[in-house]
Structure 1
Amino acid sequence: MTTNNFDTRIVSTIEELSNPESYKLVCHEHLKGEPLPSNKNIARIIELVREILFPGYFANTTLREGTTKHYMGVYVDELCTLLSGEILAGMCFECEDDTTNKISKHTARAEEKTVELVEFLPELRSLLVKDVEATFINDPAAKNFGEVIFSYPGIRAITNYRLAHKLLQLQVPLIPRIIAEMAHSETGIDIHPRAQIGESFTIDHGTGVVIGSTCILGNNVKIYQGVTLGAKSFPVDENGNPIKGIPRHPIVEDDVVIYAGATILGRVTIGKGSVIGGNVWVTKDLPANSFVVQKRAKDLPYTDGAGI
């Protein structure tokens, strides 16, 4: 390839990439100096939360009498700095008011949301302790709490979810979804931060689990890999656009077990104490203590495979 041909093609591509018509739907314009959310900082926020909630597990610190308070102070201080910055960045990113300085407008609110999140950490720890206990009790292969905390993807995903859910309740934009999607990428477990999940939640194995945004799960629910708690078809408005924000995902009451590969779609209620077998498809309400499994092979009509 000649130098002239190389340069011509590169310049032509740059011209094409610079055409506003090609990026008008995927371009974010912001003023110089306005912060943008940082995946690196958000990942560190998640690490810090884990270090704070599970002392002695995720940080290279020696915990002994008299040192815990010191380390908690160090971690919380770093968390406040990073979190307030990321919340501010999310607020500036989604703010459409171009008549004012967005940083000045949102700084105090971002700092207040940061304090409220930090104040929630003791409650968050209590919730996660119950999740760890439930996971340990429900898995005969688990040797101890430490193994569950260190290595179980379900606990990692639930930690991200409960952190993201609280930030969403605090009306923090964008950052909760990033936190949830980080867990999705890392574990294969996709929990929308808007979902409502009760205490003592267990996800066994976990890969391929999907929990939609308007799901409501009660206490002591256990689900296995490949479970989908999703929506059916989306209602549309007069212009044919999907209507957002309406309840369209399942309600799962207390003490329900859902086995691998089950799919539950729509705003249906799975009654308390029910058991949903593997690879079944549920689109209707089930009363309490239901037991749903596939038909056994001997109950199905025989076929030799002809025409399949």
Structure 2
Amino acid sequence: MQWTLDEIAQGILASYEAVGGLNNTDRHNLPSKRALDNLCEQLLQFLFPGFHDERPIHKNELAEITTDRLRALALQFEDQIEKSLSVKNPSGSASLANEVLMRFLGTLAGVRELLRTDILAAYEGDPAAVSSEEIILSYPFIEAIAIQRCAHVLYREG
């Protein structure tokens, strides 16, 4: 049997209804995985300036870049936090999202301190490691730990 694109589309639409697994605005509009991926990359740029950038960051640019990144991160993050909170509390999620966001952002300097200890432990545990910078650049688990530490703070705060 030969299918038409319209028939295939109708079958897929029927599966959305029958099977679920659809994020839509009829119920709760959950956070977007793509938006969260983007936020994770922004967090890594913020936590490890220069290591997730296409060009080096000069010291005299660092304050401006950090402030700009913080503002961009806050704008995008608040929306995703609000979507997460609306699952449990649809009516009061907007103001709570801002509170959670600000508490979270306020912990990032402390998260960087914890990451420093993670990087140091990796460096001291690997006799072939040459520098802390090598650990940040070459050891993918550092990125995973960084995101996990941020996720833990968000869980605790919200």
- How would you bin the TM-score normalised by the shorter chain? 0.7 to 0.9
On the 8 A contact 2:39/2:73 being kept in 1, the answer is yes
Q: Which amino acid aligns with 1:126?
A: E
* Cα distance, 1:16–1:57 mapped onto 2, change above 3 Å: closer
Partner of 2:14: 18
Deviation at 1:6, TM superposition (A): 2.9
CA distance, structure 1, for counterparts of residue 57 and residue 110 of structure 2? 22
CA distance, structure 2, for counterparts of residue 43 and residue 139 of structure 1? 29
On the 8 A contact 1:52/1:72 being kept in 2, the answer is yes
Equivalent residue of 2:107, what SS?
helix
* Cα distance, 1:19–1:55 mapped onto 2, change above 3 Å: closer
Partner of 1:111: 98
The number of equivalent residue pairs is: 158
Partner of 1:260: none
* Cα distance, 1:13–1:118 mapped onto 2, change above 3 Å: closer
Partner of 2:109: 122
* Cα distance, 1:168–1:10 mapped onto 2, change above 3 Å: same
CA distance, structure 1, for counterparts of residue 94 and residue 18 of structure 2? 34
On the 8 A contact 1:133/1:145 being kept in 2, the answer is yes
Partner of 2:146: 159
| Larger RCO (alpha carbons 8 Å, 6+ apart) | 2
Deviation at 1:142, TM superposition (A): 1.1
* Cα distance, 1:19–1:134 mapped onto 2, change above 3 Å: closer
Stretches of structure 2 lacking an aligned partner (at least 5 in a row): none
TM (norm. structure 2) is 0.83
On the 8 A contact 2:39/2:77 being kept in 1, the answer is yes
* Residue 50 of structure 1, aligned match among 32, 44, 47: 44
RMSD: 2.9
Deviation at 1:53, TM superposition (A): 1.7
Q: Which has the higher strand share?
A: 1
Equivalent residue of 1:132, what SS?
helix
Q: Which has the higher helix share?
A: 2
* Cα distance, 1:65–1:150 mapped onto 2, change above 3 Å: closer
